[in-house]
Amino acid sequence: QGYDEPRGRQYYDALERGARAIPGVRAAGLAYMLPLGAGAWEDRAYRADAAGSGGDEGLAVDINVVSPGWLSSVGLPLLSGRNFSAHDRGGGEGVAIVNEVFARSMWGRADALGLRFRLGQSEELLEVVGVTRSARYRSLLELPRPVVLRPFGQVYQAPMTLHVRTDGDPAALVPAIRRL
């Protein structure tokens, strides 16, 4: 829609807050990639201690950018650590939430809290602040893949999608959400 980043962030913040205020909404969150959308933002992840080693091909991962409310909106539980918060903003320490498959593939264990890695050619080290259960993200037919979630507060993406969880009939909320 031609919004610059500050105006886009204002829009998405108001959208998410407005959705949470609708009666019957249990959770609302934003994500860059749609679950089961068959597409993915792919890259490679490298252990912090392997940075600079020429033979390290890294781990192929799917990446998504999400707001703090997204995990609850899609019913994806944290197994350990914390969710993203308003404190996970640009200029702060780079953080990520990873799934179990990522943690086991990268470090050989599910307890990955506090461990660091980098994505692609970036030199920024990301600290694991949470680990989620592994799930199918691209298709119901796939095996769970390594996934990295980045906070929307640190990685701005203009095309975000609102996800809403309700206690009642989701179709009944569509008019109120469209008005937002």
Lowest-pLDDT range, 35-39, 99-103, 128-132, 154-158?
35-39
More confident call, 97 vs 89: 97
pLDDT tens for 21-42 read 999 999 999 999 887 765 667 8
CA distance linking residue 43 with residue 170, whole number of Å: 34
25 half-sphere exposure, CB direction, 13 A CA radius:
21
pLDDT tens for 98-125 read 999 999 999 999 889 999 999 998 889 9
CA distance linking residue 22 with residue 115, whole number of Å: 38
Buried b (16+ CB within 10 A) or exposed e, 69-89: bbbbbbebeeeebebbeeebe
pTM: 0.90
